[in-house]
Chains A and B, each alone.
Chain A
């Protein structure tokens, strides 16, 4: 069982609200990732981090932002949620890149009404 946690698990909010999705891992991994996944579709990388104070945008353009102030914590923020942001958001971490396994959190199912 991977020691990576996401809160909340489910979130329903109205348009225009600011939200933060939390992700924490206790494995001491330097690398952390955020993915977006729609039903029946592949995961898309939206943000990643090599370590503290390092953040990069992924393949899929996203209006969200991330921060990495502590190794174990990688929150994702949406300043003004829209219905198009409705999706599942998965956080992952790994010891390294490429051949290193990425451990996934349980995900946050976000619905914007």
Chain B
């Protein structure tokens, strides 16, 4: 069964600190993995996309890693800001269907305190 598991479920950090969010997946055959940021009451916004051959990709203070062998990804946030408070969702796409179906994790709820 294709699944995406994220940890931790929630996380509280102080402003300026770094943090790392984890994503494990069983989706096969794998196409790509995205990290989305979803602010409360808003739709998700894509932060990074990684394909099978990519190990690391950065977008400002966000750095995503991918280990396609162990089927694990992480999202590292550097020097956190209050605006980073949001849910971070790991989304994996398969290439085994015409639709290129997306499998969503439940997200990690990050809260940044001043």
Contacts and interface: CB of A to CB of B under 8 A. Distances in A.
Given A92-B43, A98-B93, A107-B41, A48 B105 contact: no
Nearest to B51: A99
Contacts of B76: none
Among A42, A48, A104, find the residue whose CB has the most chain B CB atoms closer than 10 A. Answer: A42
A106 interface: yes
A104 B32 contact: no
B93 A45 contact: no
A104 B93 contact: no
A113 B2 CA distance: 35
A106 B42 contact: yes
B42 A107 contact: yes
A99 B32 contact: yes
Nearest to B43: A104
B93 A99 contact: yes
A9 B43 CA distance: 11
Interface of B: 4, 9, 31-32, 34, 41-46, 49, 51, 89, 93-95, 98-102, 104-107, 109
A107 B106 contact: no
22 contacts: A4-B43, A40-B9, A40-B109, A42-B89, A42-B105, A42-B106, A43-B44, A92-B43, A96-B100, A97-B99, A98-B31, A98-B32, A98-B94, A98-B95, A98-B99, A98-B100, A99-B31, A99-B51, A99-B93, A101-B49, A102-B102, A104-B43
A77 to B, nearest CB: 20
B106 A109 contact: no
A29 to B, nearest CB: 14
Given A4-B43, A42-B105, A107-B43, 20 more contacts: A40-B9, A40-B106, A42-B4, A42-B89, A42-B104, A42-B106, A42-B107, A43-B104, A44-B104, A48-B99, A96-B100, A97-B98, A98-B31, A99-B49, A99-B93, A101-B46, A101-B49, A104-B43, A104-B45, A107-B41
A66 interface: no
